[in-house]
Structure 1
Amino acid sequence: MLYQWLETQRALMRSLDAWTALAAAPWGASPAAPADAGAPYEGDARLASVALPGCDWIYRLLQATPEPPPFHIESVRIAGMRVPIGEDVVDRTPFCALRRFERRFESAFQEDFRSSDSGAAPHEHERACVLLVTPLAGHHAVMLRETVETMLEDADVYVTDWANARDVPLSEGHFGLSDYVLTVERFVRKLAARGVHVLAVCQAAPPALAASALATAANEALAPLSVTLMGGPIDTRLHPTMIDRLAATHDIEWFRRTVIDVVPPRYAGAGRRIYPGYVQHAAIVAAHPHRQVALESRYWTSRMSGDAAAIASSLRSLKEYSAVLDMDEDYFLDTLRIVFQEQRLARGTWSVGARRVRPETLTATALFTVEGDRDDITGSGQTHAAHEVCPAIPDTMRRRMTVEDCDHYDLFTGPRWHEVIHPALRAFWATARAAAHPSNT
């Protein structure tokens, strides 16, 4: 298997590690090496100390797929106050951790604002709550760190942090698209009492909408306040992209034969059949080489400038983008068939177990869809199609936005996210919450 072969080659190539360090030694440690700056993961100190251009690139190349960097969000600025952020895991399944990022206003008031006239810190039940449903599409959830940090200005944020399938023992069973939906439904139910806003990005959009519909059908009290879908393939029949065409022109067995591999013995998930992260990463880089080049360029520019903060930030971005994960075979093939080939959500034919997914049950949940006009991963109209799928939502509770000069990644990172999408999202959440609690307005 290719996976095993790659692991063997990496083990052999890592013998060059000593040469890399020796080659860099005459140049000494970089004076701009970041001491902490939320060190993305082990090895950063080593990388930061390499001053010879190119040596740290060699070092990264020789390593196995790295562990993802931590989120490391210590605080955010809200209304002029620096508010500490607490991070913990509040629920867990073998394939996903529900990671909570909580704004600790009490600490901010007690430590820094004793004389402030800003008023008392809001109680937990009064604070907005967002469930960020991250895509299980090759990258770890930390790739959306910038998204999380921005949304913490408005709400406590809960994030679906999907496990790397290579690290899940076979004894935990397999994981398919239905399991993804049920996991998200479990989290929606858990947060429903707080009044949760569900936000789904990319491939997370169909299962997040399905989970919201299933929870609502079971009990209207479990309905989210709102659902926002950004760049998600709700109906891939509309303006199909290269990804959509690839999925439509090959049958499931072709994908099984071509891209499915087996986790090698060194990992906890040894023997699990997976779609490897290295295949997905290669496909992403091939499809969007400009993004990889931009990240590398930003990193080397910061190295040349000697700016420690810029080095830490650019290296983190590079490693967040490079940290990939393996997906269980069942999930990968289910997604191809149900989302990309059969469009079951759009056609109204999707069932999860014995329950039919019925988005028409969403009557009191506001819906916001966001697309980028240069998105070459999710075609034009594919996300906005959710409005047709959810016919019972009142027009006053709907919003759709197509962002100009915006590609797929711009939807959740960079200037378009900060200057256009996030302000619109903030206003949408406020409107949805006011509609749900008119007595509080």
Structure 2
Amino acid sequence: MWYEWMEAQDSLLKSFFEFAAPGYRWPYRRSEPPPFGISSIEAGDRYIPIVETVVDRTPFCELRRFAREGSTLNKLDQSDAAAASIFVCAPLAGHHAVLLREMVETLLHDADVYITDWADARDVPVSAGAFGLSDYIRTLERFLRRIGTARLHVIAVCQATVPALAASALVSSSGFAEPLSLTLMGGPIDTRLGPTAIDRIAQAHGIEWFRSTVIETVPPPYSGCGRRVYPGFIQRAAIVAAHPHRQLALELRYWASRMSGDRQATTDTLRSLSEYSAFLDMSEDYFLDMIRVVFQEQCLPRGHLQVGERRVRPQNLGSMALCTVEGDRDDITGAGQTHAAHSLCNAIPACRRSRLTIDNCDHYDLFTGSTWQRAVYPAVVQFWRSVA
């Protein structure tokens, strides 16, 4: 019932804004996410064309590749003919992967970039089957094999850190080469440490409470009609309530640039607003798995995480490098939760590890905006170069 009501409200507000402010995208409406739209990057006095392709897909995810066409620019492998690549594991936590567009565009100055582009569960037919945390991990494992790990830097953001670490461990246990490096940013590796409001909410209620309170059934006419989901409109409300300043800042920047007549600033700000406002539904199984496995039972740090019959053993990782990044003002992922990965991966030599805690940095600053550009990105790339 709530799903149909919210869809009706979105349609009504869309109609109003199309009349009152032509060209403005009502930021709370459920619609198709904006495209990445990275056609080129600027490198010094030249522009390098970027070719975007989908190189693998499952019903719940597409693996996108952004390749620098005809470029000899290769900052990560200046002395090696075998170019490294970067694999961005985008979180499945409410936002579409396009939220990380700025990260992808920035990293393209150093290497070709792959990213997981998760599907909106409302658009996945029930016939495609269920999708839980184990399926997420298997998807990353499949993509790691598809890309090839021998010259690959993996970077995982937010909730993607847990499955990215698990997939890397499973790939290694199967005899496949470990990635060159794994960088974990603002993720809940061990939620027993520095619990936040999100952690406390997850631990205060049983799984059946979440199932009966926040799970909805997708209505017609969506392709996923009948699928049980955690709706994007609930996550949208939670994120806006927790971080109203970010939504307000984007709105104010948009209207200020529009009223000043600055077309480029208006276009850029509208793109940022559209990316931030692009929410998706998560499948019931995946959402409840995350609550139970990550936030309630802490299966990964306790050594209990399994994918099918396979036990996840991060302690067996030994050749790859490990970097963890936290923001000192992150109120989504608590202090120490991401750095906890080092104690799990204790076979990795100290010289191939790095713990970065970024000053005056909240959760979103880790991967977007001036803090990402000024502090996070240079430190991560310096680490990659040091271990390549």
- The TM-score with structure 1 as length reference comes to 0.84
Tell me if 1:186 matches 2:142.
yes
Cα distance in 1 for partners of 2:371, 2:7 equals 39
Cα distance in 1 for partners of 2:268, 2:179 equals 35
Q: Is the 8 Å Cα contact of residues 156 and 185 (structure 2) preserved in structure 1?
A: yes
Displacement of 1:122 in angstroms is 8.9
Question: Alignment partner of 1:371: what SS?
Answer: strand
Which one of the candidate residues 195, 201, 205 is aligned to 2:157? 201
Cα distance in 2 for partners of 1:125, 1:161 equals 29
Displacement of 1:194 in angstroms is 5.1
Relative to structure 1, the CA distance from residue 3 to residue 77 in structure 2 (aligned partners, 3 Å threshold; closer, same or farther) is same
Q: Is the 8 Å Cα contact of residues 188 and 222 (structure 1) preserved in structure 2?
A: no
User: 2:118 maps to what in 1?
Assistant: 162
Which one of the candidate residues 373, 376, 380 is aligned to 1:418? 373
Relative to structure 1, the CA distance from residue 86 to residue 123 in structure 2 (aligned partners, 3 Å threshold; closer, same or farther) is farther
Q: What are the Cα deviations for residues 115-169 of structure 1, in whole angstroms up to 9, with x where unaligned?
A: xxx9xx9999622201100000000000000000000011110000000000000
User: 1:398 maps to what in 2?
Assistant: 353
Displacement of 1:184 in angstroms is 0.3
Q: Is the 8 Å Cα contact of residues 229 and 369 (structure 1) preserved in structure 2?
A: yes
Question: Alignment partner of 1:100: what SS?
Answer: strand
Relative to structure 1, the CA distance from residue 397 to residue 260 in structure 2 (aligned partners, 3 Å threshold; closer, same or farther) is same
Which one of the candidate residues 343, 359, 369 is aligned to 1:388? 343
User: 1:51 maps to what in 2?
Assistant: none
Tell me if 1:72 matches 2:28.
no
User: 1:227 maps to what in 2?
Assistant: 182
The structure with the largest helix share of the pair is 1
Cα distance in 2 for partners of 1:210, 1:226 equals 14
Question: Alignment partner of 2:290: what SS?
Answer: helix
Displacement of 1:323 in angstroms is 0.8
Relative to structure 1, the CA distance from residue 16 to residue 395 in structure 2 (aligned partners, 3 Å threshold; closer, same or farther) is closer
Q: Is the 8 Å Cα contact of residues 150 and 179 (structure 2) preserved in structure 1?
A: no
Which one of the candidate residues 126, 132, 151 is aligned to 1:176? 132
Relative to structure 1, the CA distance from residue 311 to residue 394 in structure 2 (aligned partners, 3 Å threshold; closer, same or farther) is same
Size of the aligned set, in residue pairs, is: 386
Displacement of 1:79 in angstroms is 5.0
Displacement of 1:196 in angstroms is 0.9
Tell me if 1:94 matches 2:94.
no
Cα distance in 2 for partners of 1:250, 1:214 equals 31
Report the RMSD for the aligned CA atoms in angstroms.
2.1
Task: Give the letter for the 1:292 counterpart.
Answer: Q
Matched ranges for 1:113-192 at <5 A = 126-192=82-148
Q: What are the Cα deviations for residues 215-246 of structure 1, in whole angstroms up to 9, with x where unaligned?
A: 01101x42100000000000000010000000
Displacement of 1:15 in angstroms is 6.1
Cα distance in 1 for partners of 2:252, 2:11 equals 28
Q: Is the 8 Å Cα contact of residues 149 and 180 (structure 2) preserved in structure 1?
A: no
Which one of the candidate residues 286, 301, 308 is aligned to 1:353? 308
User: 2:295 maps to what in 1?
Assistant: 340
Displacement of 1:430 in angstroms is 1.2
Displacement of 1:420 in angstroms is 1.0
Q: Is the 8 Å Cα contact of residues 185 and 366 (structure 2) preserved in structure 1?
A: yes
Unaligned runs of 5+ in 1: 25-45, 48-55, 110-117, 434-441
Q: Is the 8 Å Cα contact of residues 129 and 194 (structure 1) preserved in structure 2?
A: no
- The TM-score with structure 2 as length reference comes to 0.95
Task: Give the letter for the 2:26 counterpart.
Answer: R
Question: Alignment partner of 2:31: what SS?
Answer: coil
Cα distance in 2 for partners of 1:285, 1:209 equals 29
User: 2:5 maps to what in 1?
Assistant: 5
Tell me if 1:239 matches 2:194.
yes
Relative to structure 1, the CA distance from residue 286 to residue 12 in structure 2 (aligned partners, 3 Å threshold; closer, same or farther) is closer
User: 1:33 maps to what in 2?
Assistant: none
Relative to structure 1, the CA distance from residue 124 to residue 148 in structure 2 (aligned partners, 3 Å threshold; closer, same or farther) is farther
Cα distance in 2 for partners of 1:5, 1:305 equals 37
Task: Give the letter for the 2:365 counterpart.
Answer: D
Task: Give the letter for the 1:237 counterpart.
Answer: R
